[in-house]
Amino acid sequence: MRRSMAPSQRGLPGNGATWTMPMRRMRGRIVARGDGWTASRRHGYSARTFVSPQGAQAMGYETLIVERTGALATITMNRPEARNAIDLAMRHELLAALDEVEADAAVRVLILSGAGEHFCAGGDVKSMRARRSTAAEGRERVQMLNRMVLRLVDFPRPTIAMVDGFAVGAGTNLALCCDLVVASDRARFGELFNKIGLAPDGGGTWLLSRLVGLARAKELIFTGDVFDAAEAARLGLVNRVVPAAELRAVTRALAEKIAAGPPGVLRMAKHMVNRAATTDLAAALDLEAYSQGLAIASDDHQEGLAAFFDKRPPKFTGS
């Protein structure tokens, strides 16, 4: 297990970047690029990743724990005394930790969790009460949260929220930013913003509308009701509900199963599904054809075929 290596800038290009240079300077360091897929201006992603910087200086976090075991990385929000409420420091550190994890080419799946008995109680209400913010300060706080939301939704590897206890307010929305949600039977969710006179943030309006439809999203936001994991599963917000004692084991087993898949294909599949909800069928089909062209020419496809005919598990490398 490795903990909290130094964060680096995001290792993959955003929309519009075509990769030709073998090296790139990142925060004063030279970081090697790994071999892999080529980027596409049209389709907005590439399956290349950065190799983790060698000899990088270890860096600790005040509000997080970052761990790696094999192909899995876990980011744990570590403010248990505050039910892992998101303060400004955590917002900054979550962005840095996501950069750090992405820079490690060995990581194939990211798990997001909370320390202690809760996932995340949303914004830090104690800091809100301690000092009245101006409108400009409020926007700035939310804009920092917005960067974290976009970063997590677009993270180029599969992500799983492991939810125990309260995941309310921005904590609900942070969980929904992940690709999958595994919840304990004692997990609780809710859009509590209006209970303290706040508008929803953390992407909740967009995420809930996609997941449960406009009418149900409005009900959840207007009422601010807290609901349990079983109801969250019924609504389609949670993939699995398990006994609290089994939460970690079940989540890790799911993550390991996903991590055994072909990394480049998983990345493309995530990108395709995310885009499918906001594009038309013709564009989705075009993206499928483009992605399949990359996949069918890959070494992982050949390995998958060989394993199928040899009746053995495939060993995908991402090439």
| pLDDT tens, residue by residue, 158-167 | 999 999 999 9
255 and 272 co-located in one domain: no
CATH number at residue 242: 3.90.226.10
Residues in the chain: 319
41 and 68 co-located in one domain: yes
Q: Is 190 left (phi over 0), alpha (psi -120 to 50) or beta?
A: left
225 and 282 co-located in one domain: no
Domains held by the chain: number:
2
Residue that terminates a domain, selected from 243, 259, 275? 259
40 and 100 co-located in one domain: yes
Cβ count near 98 (within 10 Å): 23
253 and 279 co-located in one domain: no
Q: What is the mean pLDDT of residues 254-280?
A: 95
Class of residue 204 by CB neighbours under 10 A (exposed 0-12, middle 13-18, buried 19+): buried
In a domain, 148, yes or no: yes
140 and 279 co-located in one domain: no
253 and 218 co-located in one domain: yes
- List Cα–Cα distances, 106 to 101, 167, 263, 276, in angstroms: 9, 29, 10, 28
- List Cα–Cα distances, 18 to 203, 299, 302, in angstroms: 29, 22, 26
Identify the band that residue 33 occupies on the pLDDT scale cut at 50, 70 and 90: very low
| pLDDT tens, residue by residue, 36-51 | 333 343 444 433 333 3
In a domain, 72, yes or no: yes
CATH number at residue 277: 1.10.12
* pLDDT at position 151: 96
Residue that terminates a domain, selected from 240, 259, 278? 259
Residue 152 makes CB contacts below 8 A (sequence gap 6+) with 94, 98, 112, 159, 174, 177, 178
Residue that terminates a domain, selected from 259, 276, 301? 259
* pLDDT at position 55: 31
Range of the domain at 188: 2-259
DSSP-derived secondary structure for the chain:
-EE-PPP-S-SS--TT-----SEEEETTEEEEBPP-PPP-TTT------BPPPTTPPP---SSEEEEEETTEEEEEE--GGGTT-B-HHHHHHHHHHHHHHHT-TT--EEEEEESTT-SB-SB-HHHHHHSPPPHHHHHHHHHHHHHHHHHHHT-SS-EEEEE-SEEETHHHHHHHTSSEEEEETT-EEE--GGGGT----TTHHHHHHHHH-HHHHHHHHHH--EEEHHHHHHHTS-SEEE-GGGHHHHHHHHHHHHHTS-HHHHHHHHHHHHHHTTS-HHHHHHHHHHHHHHHHTSHHHHHHHHHHHHTS-------
Adjacent-strand bridge partners of 112:
75, 161
* pLDDT at position 247: 99
Q: Is the pLDDT of residue 269 over 70?
A: yes
Mean model confidence pLDDT for the chain: 84
* pLDDT at position 60: 85
Of 42-56, 121-135, 195-209, 296-310, the one with minimum mean pLDDT is: 42-56
Q: CA-based angle 99:103:105, to the nearest 5?
A: 145
Q: What tokens appear for 48 in the block?
A: 């290349």
In a domain, 69, yes or no: yes
11 and 147 co-located in one domain: yes
Q: Is the pLDDT of residue 206 over 90?
A: yes
In a domain, 319, yes or no: no
* pLDDT at position 140: 84
Identify the band that residue 31 occupies on the pLDDT scale cut at 50, 70 and 90: very low
In a domain, 317, yes or no: no
- pTM summary value: 0.81
59 and 9 co-located in one domain: yes
In a domain, 250, yes or no: yes
102 and 47 co-located in one domain: yes
42 and 76 co-located in one domain: yes
284 and 203 co-located in one domain: no
